C-alpha cells in the first residue's frame, strides 16, 4: 500500500459536485407516448463486437472456460460431458436477459405515469450523464448504483433511456423471477437473474461469470449490479459483496480488455417507498415473498407523495488506474487464462479495497434532505420531543455542521428555515406528530403534550412504536457516513481513560474495528480515518490538540454530545448483545435461534424500562454485532449435526462489553488482536 | 587523419563502408526519402526497387496521420563538420601501453573522431535523435580492426594485460542501446570492429555447412553463397547491414525462419574469444547431449563475454522458385485466426506476416506512381471488389503478405493450401504485387524514420513474442496504451500506433509494434518517447509477452531482466560472466 497517498486535509466543504436537472419536468409537459416511441439511437462502445447480442449465448456456451469446467465435472462425477453441457445451457436459459426495445418502450411509458404520480421530481446530474456517455464509448462500463429500493434498477434504465444511453443489463436476484409476468417483463427490459446462493456450484458459477464477462468483453451494453448485494433496509450502506466485482475486473486483469470503467451511482430517495416494510422486516416480520399480486396491492402507494429522487452519476473509475501498482497482471502469464483460479491474495485485497472505496463514493454523492437532519435530532430527543422553534434552531446548527463535514445537503436556502422544517415534517407526517408546538416521533396516540412519551406496556405496542423509530432511523442513517468518523473520535474520547492522544487513538481503533461490520470503514485505513476525524473536529473548533493530548473545547461540547449520541445506540446495542451472550445464552444456542432470542431479551429489557433505544430491536444491528464478535473470535461457530451452534468465549465477550461501556481501558492486548 | 593511421596497415576497402553510410540516420547516404519541390515524396538513389520513384500518396498520409505539415521542418541541426572539427567529441582517453602493443602486433586502429562516433551508437531513436542534434556522449576511445581470429586473440590478450574495455562492433544495427558506451567507464574503451573478418573460409557441400568469419555482413554472406548456388536463408530485416557475429550475439531471427530456422537452429559451431581463452566445441556433430549447450551461453550474450570470430552454419541450395503473395482479411481478428490455423497445420510459408489496418493504409501510402491508366483502373476495380462487393470495411480490413520458396510444383501446391485456409477465415487473395511490396517495405521503413525526423515526427518499432491465445489482446492493449500514454504525456497529435504479426510458431507468434508521433509543442520529445515505449513494454509484459523476441536486451531493457529470468536465472548468467570475464573486459554492461 506504499502507493497510497497520505491523507490530505482536503476540506470536504470544497468538494465539487454537479448541478441537477429534473427529468420529470419534461414528462409533465409533453406526451409520454411520444417519449416512449422516440427515436432511440444510443452511442455504443467503440470496440463493440458486431452481432454480439445475438451471439451472446453461443459465445458463452462455446467458451473455453465453460468447456474446461464441463470436462472437469464430467471426469469428477462420471456424468457425460454433453449432459453437463445441457445443464449449463439450461442454467444460461434461466439466467439470460432478453432485452427488447418494445418492452423498454412499454416501461418508458408506464414508468413515466407512475413516477409522475409518486414523485415530485427526479433529479439527475447531467454532467455525470455526459461523463458516462463518454465512458461508454471508450471502455466497457459497469454501473454500480446504491440499492435502497426495488425502484432502483427500473429507475436507472429509465434515466438511461431518457438520455439516449445504451440500456444496461442488470444482475437481479432470482426472487424477482418468482413474479411470473413481472419477472419476464424485467427480463425483457434487460435484467438477468442469478440465484441468491450457489456457493459450491462450479457449473453455475462458470456459466454466470462467463455470461457477465462475455457481455463486458463484447462491450454491447453496460453491466449493472448492486455492490451491496441487496437492498439496504436501514439506509446505511452495506458491506460490499465482492463476487461480481471480481468477475467484472477479471477481464482487465487477464488483458482481455484494455480497461473497465466503474461508475458509482448514488440514488437518494426523499421518502423511501418501502419505509415501513423495511422497519417491519427488521423487527422480525418476515419479508413478503415477491409476488405479482403483492406488487398490485402496493398500488395504494401510488396515491402518496414520495417527494423527490436524486440520482448522481459519479466520476467513472478506471480499473486500470485503480490497479496501477497494486495488481501484477503477470500473475496470469503462466497458465491458460480459461482455467479457473482462485484470485491471488493481492488481487483479493485489491478488489476488497476497491469495493469499499466505490461504496464510499456512492455515499459521498448521496443527497441528504433536511428531513435527514430533523430525524437525527428527533431521535436524540425521543422522550421529550422538541419545540418547533428549538427544532428549527438545532436543524440550522446541524446544517452548518454537516456542510462543514462535506455532506451533500439539499437544503433549499432560499426558503426560511422554519418553512423548510415544516414542509419536511409534513412530507413525513406518518412519522412525526406536532402537538402544542412540540414535535415528537409519532409513537402511539396517548402521549399528550408536554408529557414524556409513555413507556409501552405490551409487546405489540412496543413493536408498533419501534416501527416508527426504525423508519426514522433509516433517515438518520443516511447522514451517518458524514458524521461517522468524527463520531467515532468523539466516542473514543468519551471512553478513553485519559486525554492522551495515544489512548484516544487506541479507543478509536477499538471502536472502529468493533463497528466495521456496521458501517463502511475501509480495511486498513484506521490511521487515515483518525486523522480525518481529528481534522474535522479540529476545524470546527470542537477539539483542541497538542502534541500529546486532545481536549474537547467548551464550545465544542454541543458537537461532541451530538456525535456521541448518534453512535450511542450502536454501542449500547453491541453491549446488550454481549450481555446476552454472557448472561443468558446457553451452550446449545444455535445460529438460527440467535436473532429471536436476542430480540426477546431486548424486548424484556425495554419493557422493564432498563433500555431506552428501540432501534436495538433491529435485526440488522443484532446480526452485525454477531458478525463482529465472530470476526474477533469472541464467538466460534461449531457445527453439530445440521445445526450451527455458537460457542461463546465469555471472558472475551465480557471484556469487549466493558470496553465498549468505557468501564475497561482499551487494552493493548485487545487492540493488538483486533 | 584516419588515413594517416590506416596507411600503415593493409585494411580492406570495406572499412570505408562508413563513407557510403549516413552518420546520423539509417542506411546508405544516397538513399533517402524526401519531399520534392512539388511536395511529392520520392525515394532517392538506385539501390532499391523504390529508388527514384515518386510516392504520390505519402504526403497526404503523412500529414493526415501525424497532423504534420511540410511547412514545419525539423532538419538535423548540425552538419558533420560541426561535430568532427569543432571538438564536440571528447578527445580519446588512450591507454598508451595498449596502443604501443597494438602497433607492435600490426593490427590497424584509429582514434579519429568520425570513426569513434560512428561506432558509439546503434539505431535507437534517442541515439539518432542526439546525433541529429549534434549531441555526443561517451564514445569509444579507439577503434581496432582485427583481420582474423588470431588478431582477436591478440587484442583480447592485450586488453586483459592493460585493462582496457572492449566493445565488439559488427554492423551497428543494434536497437537496444547495446553499443552505447557506459558513461561511468573509466578505462579506455576500445571498439572492436569485426568488419575485416568477412570471409567465407570453406563450404562443405557434403554436410551443407559453411565456415564463415563472424564479421561478414548479411547481404555479403548471402551474395557470396549464392555465387556458389547456396544460401543460409537467414534474412533479418537488417541483413543489409548486420553481421553474422551480431546475429549470434543477439539471438537473431530471420524472416524466412519457417524454412531455415532462427540463428540458434542454423549454427553448428561457434568460436568465441574470451578473456579466459577461446571457447568452442570439439566436433561438428549436428546435435549433442553433453550437458547444457554452451552455444546458448554465447548466443544472446550481447558482447558481454567475448567476441564471436568464426561460425560454422548450415547452408541450403538456393531455392528454385520464389513466389510472393498476399491475402486481404475483413479484420485483424480473422487474420490472426488464419495465421494461427496455418501454424497449427504447420504449413507456414517461408514468411507470413499480418499487418493491421493502420499498416495496411501505410503500405498503400507507399505505392509508387502507377505507370499506366490501366493499372490505376485495375487498382480501382480491386478496391471496388473488396470493399463494395465483398463488403470489407476499409477501416478494418488487414492484409497478410506471403513468401513461398522451394521447387515450383511444391510452391504452387503449398500456395493453394495456404489460400484455402485463408478462405475459411474470409481471406481473399490480393495478388503477388501487394505481397512483394510488403517485403520491400521492410527494408525501406527504417529510411522513413529519417524522413519523419525532418518534420517533427519521431518513432520506432519494438517487438515481442506471445502465446497464440494472447495475440489479439496484446495487440489491442499495447496499441491503446501507447495512444493513452501519448495523450497523458502531452503529445498534441494522435500517434501512429500499429502492429503486425511477423512470425508464427507452434506455440505463439512474434508481434512487432510501430509507434510514431508528431512532437511539435514538446520540450523534450525523446524523453516522452522513452516513457511511452517504457509503458508499452510494461504493457507487453503484463499481457504475457516476452521482453524481446530477437532485438535483445542491451541496456534498454535491462531493468526487466530479473523478473524475466527469476533470481536464480540471473545468478546463473552472472556466474558465467564472473568466470569468463572476471575483470569485465567486455564491459558494455548489456544484459545483466
Which pLDDT score, from 0 to 100, does residue A554 have? 92
Least confident stretch, A298-312, A469-483, B477-491: A298-312
Domains in chain A: how many in total? 2
Q: Is B512 a catalytic residue?
A: yes
- C-alpha closest to that of A209 among A155, A156, A171: A171
Q: For chain A, how many helices (H) and strands (E)?
A: 26, 16
Cβ(A518)–Cβ(A624) under 8 Å? Answer: yes
Taking CB atoms and an 8 Å cutoff, what residues of chain B touch A258? 476-477, 480-481
Least confident stretch, A26-30, B227-231, B338-342, B423-427: A26-30
For the four alpha carbons of A193, A197, A199 and A204, in that order, the dihedral sign comes to: negative
A256, A258, A333 ranked by CB distance to B480: nearest? A258
Taking CB atoms and an 8 Å cutoff, what residues of chain B touch A255? 470, 473-474, 477, 542-544
pLDDT at B301 over 90: yes
B233-239: which pairs have CB atoms within 8 A and are 24 or more residues apart? B233/B259, B233/B260, B233/B266, B233/B316, B233/B350, B234/B260, B234/B263, B234/B266, B234/B313, B236/B550, B237/B442, B237/B443, B237/B446, B238/B171, B238/B173
- Contact between chains at B542 and A258 (C-beta distance less than 8 A): no
Taking CB atoms and an 8 Å cutoff, what residues of chain B touch A47? 476
- Contact between chains at A332 and B480 (C-beta distance less than 8 A): no
Cβ(A435)–Cβ(A449) under 8 Å? Answer: yes
Taking CB atoms and an 8 Å cutoff, what residues of chain B touch A254? 473
Q: What is the DSSP letter of B16?
A: G
Residue carrying C-alpha cell 463497528: A515
Residue A252 inside a domain? The answer is yes
What digits encode the pLDDT tens for the residues A105-132? Answer: 999 999 999 999 999 999 999 999 999 9
Among the three residues A340, A365, A390, which one is the final residue of a domain in this structure?
A365
- In order of A162, A370, A400, A597, B71, the CA distances from A367 in angstroms are 21, 10, 16, 37, 55
Instruction: Tell me the CB-side half-sphere exposure of residue A570, using CA atoms within 13 A.
Output: 27
Which runs of E-coded beta strand occur in A158-242?
169-173, 191-194, 223-224
pLDDT at B7 over 50: no
Taking the C-alpha atoms of residue A529 and residue A522, their distance in angstroms, rounded to an integer, is 9
Q: Please tell me which residue, A49 or A591, carries the higher pLDDT value.
A: A591
pLDDT at B5 over 90: no
Which pLDDT score, from 0 to 100, does residue A12 have? 66
Among the three residues A325, A346, A365, which one is the final residue of a domain in this structure?
A365
Taking the C-alpha atoms of residue A223 and residue A207, their distance in angstroms, rounded to an integer, is 16
Say if residue A346 is in the same domain as residue A464. no
Q: Please tell me which residue, A407 or B371, carries the higher pLDDT value.
A: A407
Which pLDDT score, from 0 to 100, does residue A667 have? 58
pLDDT at B11 over 50: no
Which pLDDT score, from 0 to 100, does residue A293 have? 54
A47, A255, A328 ranked by CB distance to B470: nearest? A255
Cβ(B518)–Cβ(B67) under 8 Å? Answer: yes
Distance from CA of B203 to the nearest CA of A (A): 44
> In the 3-class helix/strand/coil scheme, how is B72-121 assigned residue by residue?
CCCCCCCCHHHHHHCCCCCCCCCCHHHHHHHHHHCCCEECCHHHHHHCCC
Q: Cβ of A325 under 8 Å from any chain B Cβ?
A: no
Predicted confidence band of residue A14 (pLDDT cuts 50, 70, 90): low
Among the three residues A332, A348, A365, which one is the final residue of a domain in this structure?
A365
Predicted confidence band of residue A48 (pLDDT cuts 50, 70, 90): confident
Burial B156-173 (b: 16+ CB within 10 A, else e): bebbbebebbbbbbbbbb
What digits encode the pLDDT tens for the residues A147-171? Answer: 999 889 899 999 999 999 999 999 9
Burial A358-380 (b: 16+ CB within 10 A, else e): bbbbbbbbbbbbbbbbbbbbbbb
Q: What is the DSSP letter of A637?
A: E
pLDDT at B2 over 50: no
B130-134: which pairs have CB atoms within 8 A and are 24 or more residues apart? B130/B526, B131/B23, B131/B24, B131/B76, B132/B24, B132/B25, B132/B76, B132/B77, B132/B78, B132/B453, B133/B76, B133/B77, B133/B78, B134/B77, B134/B78, B134/B82, B134/B83, B134/B88
Q: What is the DSSP letter of B389?
A: I
Taking CB atoms and an 8 Å cutoff, what residues of chain A touch B471? none
At residue B506, the 3 state secondary structure works out as: coil
What is the overall mean pLDDT for chain A? Answer: 88
pLDDT at A53 over 90: no
Distance from CA of B546 to the nearest CA of A (A): 10
**Other beta carbons within 10 Å of A535:** 20
Q: Cβ of A288 under 8 Å from any chain B Cβ?
A: no
Residues forming CATH 3.30.465.10 domain(s) in chain B: 200-317
Residue A400 inside a domain? The answer is no
How many beta-carbon pairs under 8 angstroms link A with B? 26
Interface of A with B in 37-66 (CB under 8 A): 47
At residue A344, the 3 state secondary structure works out as: coil
Which pLDDT score, from 0 to 100, does residue A285 have? 66
Which pLDDT score, from 0 to 100, does residue A448 have? 39
List the single best residue of A254, A255, A328, A331 to mutate versus B (max B Cβ within 10 A). A255
Torsions phi, psi of A586, nearest 5?
Answer: -90, 170
What digits encode the pLDDT tens for the residues B441-458? Answer: 888 888 999 999 999 999
- In order of B54, B62, B64, B390, B436, the CA distances from B369 in angstroms are 6, 16, 19, 26, 16
- Contact between chains at A255 and B541 (C-beta distance less than 8 A): no
Q: Cβ of A256 under 8 Å from any chain B Cβ?
A: yes
Contacts of B324 by beta carbon, 8 Å cutoff, 6+ apart: B401, B402, B403, B404, B432, B433, B435, B436, B438, B439
Taking the C-alpha atoms of residue A120 and residue B132, their distance in angstroms, rounded to an integer, is 69
Taking the C-alpha atoms of residue B499 and residue B480, their distance in angstroms, rounded to an integer, is 11
Q: Helix B525-542 to helix B471-488 angle, to the nearest 10 degrees?
A: 150
Q: Which ranges constitute the DSSP H helices of B370-431?
A: 373-384, 408-424
Which pLDDT score, from 0 to 100, does residue B366 have? 87
What digits encode the pLDDT tens for the residues B307-360? Answer: 999 999 999 999 999 999 999 999 999 999 999 999 999 999 999 999 999 998
Distance from CA of A54 to the nearest CA of B (A): 19
CATH 3.90.600.10 fits B200-317, yes or no: no
Which pLDDT score, from 0 to 100, does residue A9 have? 52
Distance from CA of B325 to the nearest CA of A (A): 29
Residue A543 inside a domain? The answer is yes
The percent of chain A in helix, strand and coil, each rounded to the nearest 5, is 55, 10, 35
pLDDT at A402 over 50: yes
Taking CB atoms and an 8 Å cutoff, what residues of chain B touch A333? 544
Q: Cβ of B469 under 8 Å from any chain A Cβ?
A: yes
Taking the C-alpha atoms of residue A214 and residue A233, their distance in angstroms, rounded to an integer, is 32
Q: How confident is the model over A572-585, as a mean pLDDT?
A: 92
To which H or E segment does residue A573 belong? helix A557-583
Say if residue A174 is in the same domain as residue A323. yes
Q: Is B569 annotated as belonging to a binding site?
A: no
To which H or E segment does residue A282 belong? helix A275-282
Which runs of E-coded beta strand occur in A215-333?
223-224, 261-269, 308-313, 317-318
Q: Cβ of B133 under 8 Å from any chain A Cβ?
A: no
Q: How confident is the model over A470-475, as a mean pLDDT?
A: 94
Distance from CA of A136 to the nearest CA of B (A): 16
Joined together, the cell numbers standing for residue A580 give 446476552
Of residues B28, B512, B519, B529, which has the active-site annotation? B512
Q: Is B325 annotated as belonging to a binding site?
A: no
What digits encode the pLDDT tens for the residues A317-338? Answer: 999 999 999 999 988 899 999 9
- DSSP for B181-241, please give it: PPTT--SPEEEEE-TT---EEEEETTTTEEEEETT-BHHHHHHHHHHTTEE-----TTTTT
- C-alpha closest to that of A45 among A168, A128, A149: A168
Q: Please tell me which residue, A463 or B288, carries the higher pLDDT value.
A: B288
What digits encode the pLDDT tens for the residues A190-232? Answer: 999 988 777 789 999 999 999 999 999 988 899 999 999 889 9
Q: What is the ipTM of this complex?
A: 0.89
Joined together, the cell numbers standing for residue B453 give 525526423
Task: Domain B446-551: give its CATH architecture.
Answer: 2-Layer Sandwich (3.30)
In terms of residue numbers, what domain contains A359? 20-365
Joined together, the cell numbers standing for residue B138 give 561517451
At residue B311, the 3 state secondary structure works out as: strand
What digits encode the pLDDT tens for the residues B346-402? Answer: 999 999 999 999 998 888 888 887 766 666 666 766 777 777 777 888 889 999 999
Q: Cβ of B563 under 8 Å from any chain A Cβ?
A: yes
Q: Cβ of A337 under 8 Å from any chain B Cβ?
A: yes
Interface of B with A in 528-547 (CB under 8 A): 541-544
**Other beta carbons within 10 Å of A331:** 16
Least confident stretch, A284-298, A530-544, B180-194: A284-298
For B484, the closest chain A residue by CA position comes to A258
Taking CB atoms and an 8 Å cutoff, what residues of chain A touch B477? 255, 258
What is the overall mean pLDDT for chain B? Answer: 92
- C-alpha closest to that of A365 among A424, A401, A320, A410: A410
- C-alpha closest to that of B199 among B213, B181, B210: B213
Q: How confident is the model over A565-590, as a mean pLDDT?
A: 92
Which pLDDT score, from 0 to 100, does residue B459 have? 94
Taking CB atoms and an 8 Å cutoff, what residues of chain B touch A337? 469-470
For A256, the closest chain B residue by CA position comes to B473
Q: Cβ of A68 under 8 Å from any chain B Cβ?
A: no
- In order of A437, B30, B441, the CA distances from B46 in angstroms are 102, 8, 16
Joined together, the cell numbers standing for residue A566 give 448518534
Q: Cβ of A329 under 8 Å from any chain B Cβ?
A: yes
| A416-A418-A422-A425 Cα dihedral, nearest 10 degrees | 110
Joined together, the cell numbers standing for residue B60 give 497526404
Residue A450 inside a domain? The answer is no
Residue carrying C-alpha cell 485519559: A498
Predicted confidence band of residue B523 (pLDDT cuts 50, 70, 90): very high
Q: Cβ of A296 under 8 Å from any chain B Cβ?
A: no
Q: Is B168 annotated as belonging to a binding site?
A: yes
Which pLDDT score, from 0 to 100, does residue B372 have? 61
Q: What is the DSSP letter of B242?
A: -
Identify the CATH number of the domain defined by range B321-439.
3.30.70.3450
List the single best residue of B395, B474, B477 to mutate versus A (max A Cβ within 10 A). B477
Taking the C-alpha atoms of residue B156 and residue B336, their distance in angstroms, rounded to an integer, is 48
Q: Is B172 annotated as belonging to a binding site?
A: yes
Amino acid at each position: 500500500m506504499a502507493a497510497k497517498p497520505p491523507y490530505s486535509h482536503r476540506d470536504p466543504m470544497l468538494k465539487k459536485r454537479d448541478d441537477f436537472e429534473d427529468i420529470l419536468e419534461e414528462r409533465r409537459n409533453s406526451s409520454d407516448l411520444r417519449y416512449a416511441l422516440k427515436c432511440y439511437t444510443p452511442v455504443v462502445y467503440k470496440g463493440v463486437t458486431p452481432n454480439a447480442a445475438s451471439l451472446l449465448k453461443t459465445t458463452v456456451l462455446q467458451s473455453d472456460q465453460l468447456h474446461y469446467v464441463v470436462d472437469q465435472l464430467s471426469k469428477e462425477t462420471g456424468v457425460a460431458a454433453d449432459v453437463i453441457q445441457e445443464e449449463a445451457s439450461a442454467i444460461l436459459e434461466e439466467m439470460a436477459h432478453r432485452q427488447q426495445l418494445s418492452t423498454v418502450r412499454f416501461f418508458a411509458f408506464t414508468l413515466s405515469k407512475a413516477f409522475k404520480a409518486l414523485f415530485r421530481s427526479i433529479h439527475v446530474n447531467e454532467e455525470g450523464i455526459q461523463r458516462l456517455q463518454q465512458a461508454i464509448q471508450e471502455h466497457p462500463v459497469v454501473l454500480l448504483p446504491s440499492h435502497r429500493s426495488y425502484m432502483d434498477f427500473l429507475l436507472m434504465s429509465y434515466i438511461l433511456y431518457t438520455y439516449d444511453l445504451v440500456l444496461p443489463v442488470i444482475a437481479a436476484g432470482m426472487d424477482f423471477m418468482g413474479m411470473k409476468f413481472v419477472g419476464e417483463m424485467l427480463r425483457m427490459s434487460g435484467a438477468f437473474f442469478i440465484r441468491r446462493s450457489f456457493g459450491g456450484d462450479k457449473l453455475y458459477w462458470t456459466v454466470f461469470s462467463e455470461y457477465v464477462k462475455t457481455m463486458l468483453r463484447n462491450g454491447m451494453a453496460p453491466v449493472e449490479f448492486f455492490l451491496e448485494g441487496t437492498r439496504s433496509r436501514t439506509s446505511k450502506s452495506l458491506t460490499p459483496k465482492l463476487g461480481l466485482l471480481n468477475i467484472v475486473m477479471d477481464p482487465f486483469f487477464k488483458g482481455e480488455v484494455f480497461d473497465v470503467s466503474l461508475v458509482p451511482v448514488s440514488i437518494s430517495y426523499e421518502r423511501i417507498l418501502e419505509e415501513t416494510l423495511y422497519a417491519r422486516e427488521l423487527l422480525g416480520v418476515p419479508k413478503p415473498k415477491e409476488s405479482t399480486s403483492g406488487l398490485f396491492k402496493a398500488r395504494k402507494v401510488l396515491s402518496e407523495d414520495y417527494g423527490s429522487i436524486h440520482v448522481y452519476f459519479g466520476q467513472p473509475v478506471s480499473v486500470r488506474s485503480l490497479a496501477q501498482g497494486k495488481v501484477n497482471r503477470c500473475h496470469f502469464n503462466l497458465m491458460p487464462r480459461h482455467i479457473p483460479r482462485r484470485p491471488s491474495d493481492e488481487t483479493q485485497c485489491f478488489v476488497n479495497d476497491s469495493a469499499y472505496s466505490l461504496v464510499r463514493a456512492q455515499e459521498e454523492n448521496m443527497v441528504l434532505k433536511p428531513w435527514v437532519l430533523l430525524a437525527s435530532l428527533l431521535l436524540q430527543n425521543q422522550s421529550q420531543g422538541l419545540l418547533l422553534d428549538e427544532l428549527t434552531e438545532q436543524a440550522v446548527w446541524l446544517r452548518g455542521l454537516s456542510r462543514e463535514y462535506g455532506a451533500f445537503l439539499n437544503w433549499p436556502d432560499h426558503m426560511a428555515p422554519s418553512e423548510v422544517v415544516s414542509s419536511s415534517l409534513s412530507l413525513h407526517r406518518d412519522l412525526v406528530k406536532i402537538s402544542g408546538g412540540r414535535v415528537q416521533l409519532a409513537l402511539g396516540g396517548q402521549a399528550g403534550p408536554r408529557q414524556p412519551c409513555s413507556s409501552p406496556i405490551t409487546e405489540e405496542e412496543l413493536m408498533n412504536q419501534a416501527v416508527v423509530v426504525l423508519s426514522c432511523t433509516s433517515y438518520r442513517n443516511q447522514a451517518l457516513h458524514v458524521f461517522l468518523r468524527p463520531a467515532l473520535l468523539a466516542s473514543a474520547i468519551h471512553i478513553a481513560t485519559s486525554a492522551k492522544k495515544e489512548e484516544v487513538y487506541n479507543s478509536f481503533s477499538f471502536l472502529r474495528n468493533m463497528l466495521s461490520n456496521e458501517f463502511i470503514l475501509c480495511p486498513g485505513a484506521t490511521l487515515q480515518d483518525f486523522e480525518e476525524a481529528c481534522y474535522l473536529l479540529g476545524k470546527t473548533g470542537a477539539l483542541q490538540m497538542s502534541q500529546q493530548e486532545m481536549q474537547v473545547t467548551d464550545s465544542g461540547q454541543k458537537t461532541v454530545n451530538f456525535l456521541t449520541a448518534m453512535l450511542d445506540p450502536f454501542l449500547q446495542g453491541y453491549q446488550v448483545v454481549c450481555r446476552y451472550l454472557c448472561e443468558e445464552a446457553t451452550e446449545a444456542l444455535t445460529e438460527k435461534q440467535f436473532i429471536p432470542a436476542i430480540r426477546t431479551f431486548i424486548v424484556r429489557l425495554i419493557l422493564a424500562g432498563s433500555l431506552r433505544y428501540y432501534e436495538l430491536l433491529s435485526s440488522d444491528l443484532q446480526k452485525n454485532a454477531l458478525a463482529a464478535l465472530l470476526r474477533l473470535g469472541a464467538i466460534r461457530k461449531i457445527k453439530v449435526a445440521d445445526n450451527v451452534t455458537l460457542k461463546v468465549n465469555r471472558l472475551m465477550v465480557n471484556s469487549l462489553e466493558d470496553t465498549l461501556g468505557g468501564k475497561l481501558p482499551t487494552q493493548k492486548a485487545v487492540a493488538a488482536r483486533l | 587523419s584516419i588515413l594517416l593511421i590506416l596507411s600503415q596497415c593493409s585494411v580492406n576497402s570495406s572499412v570505408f563502408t562508413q563513407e557510403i553510410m549516413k552518420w546520423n540516420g539509417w542506411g546508405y547516404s544516397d538513399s533517402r526519402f524526401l519531399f520534392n519541390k512539388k511536395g511529392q515524396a520520392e525515394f532517392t538513389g538506385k539501390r532499391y526497387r523504390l529508388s527514384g520513384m515518386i510516392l504520390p500518396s505519402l504526403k497526404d498520409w503523412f500529414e493526415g496521420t501525424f497532423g504534420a505539415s511540410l511547412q514545419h521542418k525539423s532538419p538535423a541541426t548540425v552538419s558533420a563538420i560541426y561535430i568532427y572539427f569543432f571538438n564536440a567529441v571528447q578527445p580519446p582517453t588512450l591507454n598508451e601501453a595498449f596502443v604501443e602493443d597494438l602497433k607492435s602486433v600490426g593490427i590497424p586502429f584509429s582514434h579519429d573522431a568520425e570513426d569513434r562516433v560512428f561506432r558509439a551508437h546503434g539505431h535507437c531513436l534517442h541515439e539518432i535523435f542526439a546525433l541529429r542534434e549534434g549531441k555526443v556522449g561517451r564514445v569509444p576511445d579507439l577503434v581496432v580492426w582485427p583481420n582474423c581470429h588470431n588478431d582477436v586473440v591478440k587484442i583480447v590478450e592485450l586488453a586483459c594485460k592493460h585493462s582496457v574495455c572492449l566493445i565488439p562492433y559488427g554492423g551497428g544495427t543494434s536497437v537496444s542501446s547495446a553499443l552505447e558506451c557506459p558513461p561511468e567507464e573509466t578505462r579506455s574503451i576500445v571498439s572492436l570492429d569485426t568488419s575485416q573478418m568477412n570471409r567465407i573460409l570453406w563450404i562443405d557441400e557434403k554436410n551443407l555447412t559453411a565456415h564463415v568469419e563472424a564479421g561478414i555482413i548479411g547481404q555479403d554472406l548471402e551474395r557470396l553463397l549464392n555465387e556458389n548456388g547456396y544460401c543460409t536463408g537467414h534474412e533479418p530485416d537488417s541483413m543489409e547491414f548486420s553481421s553474422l557475429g551480431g546475429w549470434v550475439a543477439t539471438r537473431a531471427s530471420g524472416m524466412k525462419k519457417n524454412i531455415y530456422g532462427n540463428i540458434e537452429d542454423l549454427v553448428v559451431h561457434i568460436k568465441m574469444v574470451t578473456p579466459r581463452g577461446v571457447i568452442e566445441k570439439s566436433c561438428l556433430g549436428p546435435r549433442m547431449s553433453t550437458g547444457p549447450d554452451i552455444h546458448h551461453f554465447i548466443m544472446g550474450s550481447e558482447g558481454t563475454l567475448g567476441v564471436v570470430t568464426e561460425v560454422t552454419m548450415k547452408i541450403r541450395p538456393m531455392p528454385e522458385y520464389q513466389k510472393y503473395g498476399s491475402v486481404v482479411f475483413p479484420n485483424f481478428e480473422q487474420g490472426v485466426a488464419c495465421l494461427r490455423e496455418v501454424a497449427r497445420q504447420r504449413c507456414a510459408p517461408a514468411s507470413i506476416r499480418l499487418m493491421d489496418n493502420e499498416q495496411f493504409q501505410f503500405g498503400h501510402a507507399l505505392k509508387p506512381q502507377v505507370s499506366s491508366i490501366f493499372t490505376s483502373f485495375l487498382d480501382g476495380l480491386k478496391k471496388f471488389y473488396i470493399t463494395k462487393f465483398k463488403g470489407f470495411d476499409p477501416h478494418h480490413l488487414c492484409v497478410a503478405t506471403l513468401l513461398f520458396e522451394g521447387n515450383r510444383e511444391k510452391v504452387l501446391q503449398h500456395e493453394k493450401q495456404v489460400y484455402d485456409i485463408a478462405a475459411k477465415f474470409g481471406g481473399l487473395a490480393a495478388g503477388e504485387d501487394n505481397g512483394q511490396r510488403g517485403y520491400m517495405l521492410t527494408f525501406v521503413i527504417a529510411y522513413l524514420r529519417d524522413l519523419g525526423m525532418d518534420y517533427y515526427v519521431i518513432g520506432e518499432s519494438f517487438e515481442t513474442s506471445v502465446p497464440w491465445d494472447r495475440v489479439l489482446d496484446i495487440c489491442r492493449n499495447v496499441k491503446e496504451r501507447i495512444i493513452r500514454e501519448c495523450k497523458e504525456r502531452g503529445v498534441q497529435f494522435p500517434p501512429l500506433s500499429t502492429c503486425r504479426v511477423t512470425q508464427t510458431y507452434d506455440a505463439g507468434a512474434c508481434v512487432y509494434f510501430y509507434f510514431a508521433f508528431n512532437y511539435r509543442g514538446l520540450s523534450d520529445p525523446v524523453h516522452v518517447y522513452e516513457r511511452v515505449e517504457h509503458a508499452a513494454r510494461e504493457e507487453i509484459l503484463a499481457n504475457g509477452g516476452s521482453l524481446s523476441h530477437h532485438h535483445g536486451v542491451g541496456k534498454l531493457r535491462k531493468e526487466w531482466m530479473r523478473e524475466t529470468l527469476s533470481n536464480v536465472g540471473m545468478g546463473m548468467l552472472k556466474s558465467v560472466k564472473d568466470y569468463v570475464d572476471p575483470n569485465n573486459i567486455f564491459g558494455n554492461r548489456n544484459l545483466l
